[in-house]
Amino acid sequence: MSRRSGKFRRVLSRIFKERQIYHRSDGVVHFISMSSKTQIALATIVGAALLWVAYASVNVVFKEQIIVAKDRDSRIMETTYSKRLHDAQRAYDDVSELNQIIKQNFDETMADISSRHQLLQNMVERKASIDQSLDALAAGLSQAGGPSGQRPTNGNRVMIDVTPGEPTPRQSRISAARKKAAEKIESENAASPQKGAASEAIKSMNKAAADLYTEQMLLLASLEEKATTQRDYLTKVLTSAGIPVESVVTPAKISNTMLAQGGPFIDLTAGEADADFYLHANRTAAAVDELAALQTAIQNVPLSSPLIVGRRFTSGFGVRRDPINGKYSRHNGIDFAAAWASPVTATADGVVKFAGTRSGFGRCVEINHGNGFVTRYAHMNRISVKTGQKVKLHDKVGELGNSGRSTGPHVHYEILYKGKPLNPRRFIEAGRYVFES
């Protein structure tokens, strides 16, 4: 260490050996002697000054560039940041716009589906209530059986089961419904925005909605088929009894069910598929309305027998030899014989029009069933109803007897339609069709 520092000192003293600087002014010579130490100190000061100047110069020269570089970096960062922020904002806007589009489409689709559903539900409920009434009527009528008391051969099979509509709608109906549904998707997809995710979501929703539409169309078709089958059947029942159907039922042009929904029964702003649904629905509802009218009418048509107990059919309707005076005369009703004081019952719902004694008929009851129908029960032993009293099917009106112009215990039963006697046997036979195949 001391050797090395001694060497360094020797080098220094060689470089900075003692110097004399001569200076002459005005003929006088001065000299300045500079020791090694002084020279080293001066050199150090000069060196330090040079270093400072160099540093300052570099700083001055490059500062601008450093600032520019720093500025550029921060600008790049700022741009990247704001670009990302903008992207995020746009993504958010896209998502919320997407949500809005999807929600709007969803709301519209749901409104379509639920208005069709509401309509179908009303019709299905109405049809179910008609079926229930018809079942009750069929069950009631089966109690009395046929004209001579024949019981239904196959149990209490109600008409609705006996003549089911086609169990499944025809193939043509299914393909028609599918075709309409496909057209519906196409038209709705065409109307919906074509851009990315919203379009996809809406398309898959439209597909699901179209499947529901198909189901609704098929339900409608099946409902229409059942309603028209039943309507036609009940019409045949009435026709077979000789009842002019148009006198009890007015065919519906525009369905009451549809009108009861309120608003236009065909939405003209709806697409073709929807219009198709509503037209079909109107037709179906009209069939249901007619069925309901027939069911109400048939409820008051005397389709049963005045005796639900064991009985014998003893005398028919029309011209016959009078059992008392032997002359040919018209018999305006039919006669049943049964045990003395057997209950005589109403053959349909109605209001007692007359309860008392009539010349020839003895103790007699007449019931007004509405729609021009009146039934008469004669030769009774006892009357159990009063004029003005409401009666239901198979309510007791009196007891079988032998009063009036009668040769033995029996009930004389008449059906008058607008005052004109009709053959009751045909009505009782028609009643069998309601509960029997």
Positions touching Zn ion (CB under 5 A) are: 335, 412
Residues 236-251, buried b or exposed e (16+ Cβ, 10 A)?
ebbeebebebeebbee
Which residue, 252 or 378, is less far from Zn ion as judged by CB? 378
**Smaller CB distance to Zn ion: residue 189 or 315?**
315
For Zn ion, give the closer residue by CB, 230 or 342. 342
CB of 335 to Zn ion, least distance (A): 4
Closest to Zn ion by CB, 195 vs 330, is 330
Residue 298 vs 416, nearer CB to Zn ion: 416
Q: Which is nearer to Zn ion, 188 or 335 (CB)?
A: 335
Task: Find the shortest distance in angstroms from Cβ 414 to Zn ion.
Answer: 8
Residue 321 beta carbon to Zn ion: minimum distance, rounded to whole angstroms: 13
> Smallest distance from the beta carbon of 339 to Zn ion, in angstroms?
18
| Gap between the Cα atoms of 150 and 222, Å rounded | 34
Judged by beta carbon, residue 311 or residue 412, the one nearer Zn ion is: 412
**Residue 362 beta carbon to Zn ion: minimum distance, rounded to whole angstroms:** 11
Q: Which CB, 57 or 329, lies closer to Zn ion? A: 329
SS (H, E, C) the chain: CHHHHHHHHHHHHHHCCCEEEEEEECCEEEEEEECHHHHHHHHHHHHHHHHHHHHHHHHHHHHHHHHHHHHHHHHHHHHHHHHHHHHHHHHHHHHHHHHHHHHHHHHHHHHHHHHHHHHHHHHHHHHHHHHHHHHHHHHHHHHHCCCCCCCCCCCCCCHHHHCCCCCCCCHHHHHHHHHHHHHHHHHHHHHCCCCHHHHHHHHHHHHHHHHHHHHHHHHHHHHHHHHHHHHHHHHHHHHHCCCCHHHHCCCCCCCHHHHHCCCCCCCCCCCHHHHHHHHHHHHHHHHHHHHHHHHHHHHCCCCCCCCCCCCEEEECCEEEECCCCCCEEEECCEEEECCCCCEEECCCCEEEEEEEEECCCEEEEEEEEECCEEEEEEEEEEECCCCCCEECCCCEEEEEECCCCCCCCEEEEEEEECCEEECHHHHHHHHHHHHCC
Rounded Cα distance between 356 and 412, Å, is: 15
- Min separation Cβ 304 and Zn ion, Å: 18
Q: Which is nearer to Zn ion, 278 or 317 (CB)?
A: 317
Closest CA to 293 of 261, 245, 259, 254: 245
Minimum CB–partner distance for residue 289 and Zn ion (Å)? 40
Q: Which single residue brings its beta carbon nearest to Zn ion?
A: 412
Question: Among residues 116 and 412, whose Cβ is nearest to Zn ion?
Answer: 412
Closest CB 226 distance from Zn ion, rounded Å:
41
State in angstroms the smallest separation of the CB of 331 from Zn ion: 6
Compute the least distance from the CB of residue 254 to Zn ion, in Å: 47
